[in-house]
Amino acid sequence: MGRKDFSLKTSTSTFKVMLTAATVSGGLVYWVVKSKEHRESVEAKTRQLNGIPGDMGTAFAGETVHLLLSTNLTGFVRSRHEKHGSVFKTHLFGENVVFVSGIDCVKSVLFSEPKYSTSFQLGKLRQLFGEESIVNKSGELHKCHNQMIMGVLNKRFLTTVCPNLAKVISEEGKKWLEESTENKGQYFSVKEKSISLVEKIIELIFFGKRSGKKVLKTTVEQLEAFSRGCKAFPVKLPFSPYGKAMKARQALINVIKNELSKHLNERSRLGVQAPEQTIIYHTAEFMSESTSSGERILALDEVADTMLFILWSLYESTVK
């Protein structure tokens, strides 16, 4: 009985050892095959860049360490630009990268899109700005969004808004100067002052007075959360900056859609009213005219994503 138990235990142990050895061997074979495929893929991608000057760095890290040790990206690019010229290649964070600088080189790349190149945003920015935004489009769809922006920011709009905008900024600047003169030796929050200025600019340029102070205040608060998320690590949790930014994005999109719908409904019921020189008004006007003329019509989701990008640009250029 004891001999049978011993044989059974020995057989079981032998089987386990053989199973483990087979698993490890299979894993090694799989790793070798995958490593070879990866190496061949990297070599093929590298051969595509043979005619471009530059340094690919070490086998695995490339020039990633050099970039991390440099003071900033600008210094890293400038040193290689001086060495290799306006176009150079390198290897960063596991990817082959080609840097292009100079007006002529950049124009040749942008104007060749999408024949030879396609622009794209990082994954987290694609989600934040929306798949339908102009920043995530290329070719004909990009042209459609661009035509809308050019139609909205037309001469009539700019000639009316620019003097009013200059007046608002000038008056706000005078208030800051008077406050700093009256309260000598005391500090005041530039951020709070700039937030107040943002509200006035968004009211003047984007929404108009009819949207109300509550909408403006909520919009600026959501833009602040959205802006922080653009620079945050892309961890989509409710309490993370990126998670809060995604929530803010949805709130901003809802506001934009709501304001656009108001204007579109009024135009369909009452016809063309006295023009309000705001981006939202002219966007609704552009959408109505595109519908009546039979041109390529951008859907409300597409328009809202691009309007979010313009709204964020207004916020960033003022606050930062």
Structure tokens at 75: 């210094």
Give yes or no for residue 73 having a pLDDT over 80.
Answer: no
How far is 319 from 236, CA to CA, in rounded Å? 25
Q: What is the pLDDT of residue 253?
A: 93
Q: What is the pLDDT of residue 120?
A: 60
Q: What is the pLDDT of residue 214?
A: 86
Answer yes or no: are the C-beta atoms of 90 and 83 closer than 8 Å.
no
Q: Under 8 Å CB-to-CB from 64, ≥6 apart: which residues?
A: 57, 91, 92, 93
Quote the pTM value.
0.65
pLDDT band, very low/low/confident/very high, at 4 (cuts 50, 70, 90): very low
Please indicate whether residue 225 or residue 115 has the higher confidence score (pLDDT): 225
pLDDT average, residue stretch 284-310? 79
pLDDT band, very low/low/confident/very high, at 223 (cuts 50, 70, 90): very high
* Chain segment 10-58, per-residue pLDDT in tens: 555 665 556 666 565 655 555 455 555 555 555 666 666 677 888 887 7
